[in-house]
Chain A
Amino acid sequence: MTNLKINGVSRSVDVPADMPLLWVLRDVLGLTGTKFGCGIAQCGACTVHMDGDAVRSCVLPVGSIGERQITTIEGVGTTPAGASVQKAWLDVEVVQCGYCQSGQIMSASALLRTTPHPNDADIDAAMAGNICRCGTYARIREAIKTAAQAFQGRSQ
């Protein structure tokens, strides 16, 4: 059995140690907010947080996680950065089909946690791993800046 801490809850799963976290979340635990996009860490749709850092769950063997905390799109709203990002995503009306947006929001909220005032280069570096086929990038950039302002206000 593998023990995981996901969104603050301990979960125990009986799966192979080399099974990527993505499929454990989606198919075993039913946390389907994290998305499958490519399976080779090229698109970012599967992004979750491990101890606050953005990681691609499609290539993260579940046996390698250990005690580290996993946060998914279902839980990120309880973090200040995550809540700011989710709100900004709606305020700016970023979303079209929405399928990549779980991953985009996870990457953006991990960015804000470490870089509360990201410039364009910071945004490029943090977000270039996340593909959006609907082409919402311009609004993603705007929403990250909007979220950063709100986040700043909240942490002061």
Chain B
Amino acid sequence: MTNVGVERLNPGLARMVTRRAFLEASLSVGGALLVGFHVPSADAAAKETGVFAPNAFIRIDRQGKITLIMPQVEMGQGVYTAVAMILAEELDAAFEQVVLEAAPPNDKLYGNPTFGLQVTGNSNSIRAFWMPLRKAAAGARAMLVEAASQIWKVNSAGIRTDSSMAIHDASGRRLAYAGLIDRAHGLAAPQNPILKDPKDFKLIGKPLKRLDTPDKVNGKVVYGIDVMPPGVKFATIAACPVFGGKVGHVDDSKAKNLPGVRQVVVLDDFVSVVGDHMWAAKQGLAGLDITWSEGSNAAISSADVWKQIRAASQQEGAVAKNVGDAAKGLSEGVLHEAVYELPFLAHAPMEPLNCTVHVTPTSCEVWVGIQVLSRAQAVAAKITGLPLDKVTVHNHLIGGGFGRRLEVDFVEKAVLIAKQVDGPVKVVWTREEDIQHDIYRPVYLDRLSASVSNGRIAGWKHRITGSAIIARWLPPAFQKGIDIDAIDSGADMPYDIANLRVEYVRDEPPAVPTGFWRGVGPNNNVFAIESFMDELAKKSNKDPVAFRRDLLGTAPRLKAALELAAEKAGWGSPLPARMGRGVAVQTAFGSFIATVAQAEVDEHGDVRVHRIVSAVDTGIVVNPDTVIAQLQGGLVYGLTAALYGNISIAKGRVQQSNFHDYRMLRINEMPQIEVHLIKSGEAPGGIGETGTTAAPPALGNALFAATGIRLRRLPIDRDVLSGRKPA
């Protein structure tokens, strides 16, 4: 099954990446992107230093230290451990001894094969790097074996490797990799090294302990916010509260005399105070008298946003998929229509946005945790006017990304401030600034029509309306009016329907900037489709699981997941009054997941989620414990959004400001979560975002089962659930 996940989105991406010399992209018959990832050599420069660096991902020194260079950033998803496991597996390195190092900014050496640049996102690290990393490590291993064969003057076929050692069983000889590197220098890296048979995997598939966590329980880990270059000063910022507004006038006479305040920096659309510590910066900012020039967005409200998108959704959209004759199909059987609406959301990673920068006339040094490393370097170079090679970027472990750190706006602001500050400056956003100046998950409106005839869906029409994030973030991939992210898991929905039409209408909300948010496009599509499927099941007097199962004939992996989730959740067994179970299935990010939520609604409309069961087929699993953790966490992220998540706009500004009014799920509200992995030999799927898209529709369907009330907007409305307000 290749026609899944980001790969199926890739006609646009393919056109873009073919322009890059280091990638050879082509489209397969199934529409999947096949990337010939050239593993670049880094050995030439390393030879004099006594280090064997057969490619950009592996360095072995004469002391036997094996350093693995991490092309993807670690933001909690466990990618460092998984990447290290893949490399160590094919290299036959002693896993407990490997040392990890973050890659520097360099698209050519470390670009994500799917995007052609350094991006950690779209749940695709393992999908994109699975084969390139295996080949890189297997190639390095082959060179070490060849070196041993030359030293021992034996046939390489008789040499095996284990625990960073070459072993010749026939003669009982063994040599550590450290002792082979001088001979391995200069050997040609094999073009197509032999990869291990998965049955011989020693590491992949085992729940190994994570490599990044020990320093996260003792305070030693240094996130971007923790860096302390000598002489660092501390700054915080205030942007115009109205989107698009500018700074009018700033009176700093009071602020600059406050203890610890060093400098007030006034820029076009934001103001910053620099001090001896964050407290001084915060006090200084509060002490400024700022007059904003609010501009043309100062009257925008949520009502305007919804009015606009509802009107836009009435138009015909660009055709993302057209199979059979949807109009004809819709004319047969019982027609059902529904509209689903999703709100703006902030990311709110626990580590507030921050970036530390030191600008001198000839250099710029940046310390930051970011999902797009090379873009951070590029924006710093642009603002300082320095060439790229004078801009050093230190990438740090990230205290939560969720898509927020796919943007460089906070790097840009920090560099603008640093240009005016003598010495390094750490710019830290307050939580209020983080919530009110995010780049938000866009509002979406999904309009669905279907007709059901004898338990089959005779016709299906889905029109997705929302912001085209791709058009801004990756312009070459925005083709023919289709945002490949917005339609993801919609155009390729899993059900077997002969007559189907999926359209996309681009609608950019007034004033509010939009960006990727954990779960990305599938968030809107999975919620809308799975809520709608529940409505169709009800209309057809069918059980929601049975109704879906009958339509998953062409999606056997998803069908198996559905059956397992239903079994494990005790689907169909009796529940108390006001408690219900809801199911949702999804093919998203190359993984096949079914989820059953069990929730209870009290007479006030308050919701208690008791249990969530997910069955997951994500192909070959590198680290099962990490996959389970990602599902658990992703489900919580999605539940939080469904239960509470809402960013609303009034007078051109965001009304929420911190965790008191932008609520998060807390431990006392946690359901029991069970994740069941399905064994598979297929290529690895993506997992980081899957729980987030699964939870809202499963919950919504459970609430319907509990109350008979269908919620078509998120977050859930307790007034509607209690009957105080009509649905």
Q: Which residue of B lies closest to A97 (CB)?
A: B76
A116-149 interface bits toward B, Cβ cutoff 8 Å, 1 = contact, 0 = none: 0000000111011111111111111100000000
Do A74 and B219 have beta carbons less than 8 Å apart?
Answer: yes
Stretch at the interface among B482-490, B566-574, B631-639: B631-639
In terms of DSSP, what is the predominant structure of the interface of chain B? loop
Do B75 and A97 have beta carbons less than 8 Å apart?
Answer: yes
Q: Does B371 belong to the interface (CB within 8 Å)?
A: no
Q: Which residue of B lies closest to A143 (CB)?
A: B217
B351 surroundings in chain A (CB, below 8 A): 35, 97, 99
Do A93 and B350 have beta carbons less than 8 Å apart?
Answer: no
Do A16 and B279 have beta carbons less than 8 Å apart?
Answer: yes
Q: Which residue of B lies closest to A45 (CB)?
A: B350
With known contacts A26-B278, A97-B351, A98-B399, A38–B658 Cβ distance under 8 A: yes
CA separation between A137 and B277, bound complex, in Å? Answer: 32
Stretch at the interface among B132-140, B191-199, B502-510, B667-675: B667-675
Do B659 and A36 have beta carbons less than 8 Å apart?
Answer: no
Least distance between B121 CB and chain A CB atoms (Å): 15
With known contacts A37-B352, A37-B431, A124-B667, A30–B228 Cβ distance under 8 A: yes
Q: Which residue of B lies closest to A121 (CB)?
A: B668
Q: Does A23 belong to the interface (CB within 8 Å)?
A: yes
Q: Which residue of A lies closest to B348 (CB)?
A: A133
Q: Which residue of B lies closest to A101 (CB)?
A: B216
Give the tally of cross-chain contacts (CB within 8 A): 182
Name A35-58 residues within 8 Å CB distance of B: 35-40, 42-43, 45
Q: Does B398 belong to the interface (CB within 8 Å)?
A: yes
Q: Does B212 belong to the interface (CB within 8 Å)?
A: yes
Do B76 and A128 have beta carbons less than 8 Å apart?
Answer: no
Do B75 and A32 have beta carbons less than 8 Å apart?
Answer: no
Q: Which residue of B lies closest to A129 (CB)?
A: B666
With known contacts A27-B279, A90-B209, A96-B78, A132–B350 Cβ distance under 8 A: yes
B399 surroundings in chain A (CB, below 8 A): 35, 97-100
Name B99-149 residues within 8 Å CB distance of A: none
Q: Does A89 belong to the interface (CB within 8 Å)?
A: yes
B660 surroundings in chain A (CB, below 8 A): 40, 42
Please pick, from B78, B218, B350, B397, the residue contacting A35 in the complex, using a CB distance under 8 A: B350
Interface size class for chain B?
Answer: 35 or more
A123 surroundings in chain B (CB, below 8 A): 667
Interface size class for chain A?
Answer: 35 or more
Do A134 and B219 have beta carbons less than 8 Å apart?
Answer: no
Q: Does B36 belong to the interface (CB within 8 Å)?
A: no
With known contacts A93-B210, A97-B350, A128-B667, A36–B634 Cβ distance under 8 A: no
Q: Does A112 belong to the interface (CB within 8 Å)?
A: no
B658 surroundings in chain A (CB, below 8 A): 38-40, 42
Do A27 and B667 have beta carbons less than 8 Å apart?
Answer: no
CA separation between A140 and B668, bound complex, in Å? Answer: 12
Do A33 and B428 have beta carbons less than 8 Å apart?
Answer: no
Q: Does A65 belong to the interface (CB within 8 Å)?
A: no
Interface centre among B78, B350, B398 (most CB of A within 10 A): B350
With known contacts A86-B218, A133-B350, A139-B629, A27–B398 Cβ distance under 8 A: no
Do B636 and A131 have beta carbons less than 8 Å apart?
Answer: no
A90 surroundings in chain B (CB, below 8 A): 209, 213-214, 217
Least distance between B593 CB and chain A CB atoms (Å): 16
Please pick, from A20, A97, A137, the residue contacting B398 in the complex, using a CB distance under 8 A: A97
Name A87-115 residues within 8 Å CB distance of B: 89-90, 93, 95-102, 105
Do B629 and A32 have beta carbons less than 8 Å apart?
Answer: no
Please pick, from B212, B432, B637, B666, the residue contacting A128 in the complex, using a CB distance under 8 A: B666
With known contacts A39-B431, A42-B660, A135–B636 Cβ distance under 8 A: yes
Least distance between A32 CB and chain B CB atoms (Å): 4
Least distance between A112 CB and chain B CB atoms (Å): 15
Do B219 and A72 have beta carbons less than 8 Å apart?
Answer: yes
Q: Which residue of B lies closest to A103 (CB)?
A: B350
Least distance between A84 CB and chain B CB atoms (Å): 12
Least distance between A117 CB and chain B CB atoms (Å): 18
B350 surroundings in chain A (CB, below 8 A): 35, 37, 43, 45, 97, 99-100, 131-134
With known contacts A40-B658, A77-B218, A99–B667 Cβ distance under 8 A: no
B225 surroundings in chain A (CB, below 8 A): 32, 35-36
Interface residues in chain B, defined as those with a beta carbon under 8 Å from any beta carbon in chain A = 75-78, 209-210, 212-214, 216-223, 225-226, 228, 234, 259-260, 276-279, 282, 348-352, 397-402, 428, 430-432, 625, 629, 632-637, 640, 658-660, 664-668, 670, 672-673
11 contacts between A and B (CB under 8 A): A23-B277, A27-B234, A32-B219, A37-B352, A38-B658, A43-B659, A73-B218, A93-B629, A99-B399, A128-B668, A134-B637
Q: What are the 8 A-B residue pairs with the smallest beta carbon separation, nearest first?
A: A33-B219, A135-B636, A99-B399, A97-B76, A98-B216, A96-B76, A27-B277, A135-B633
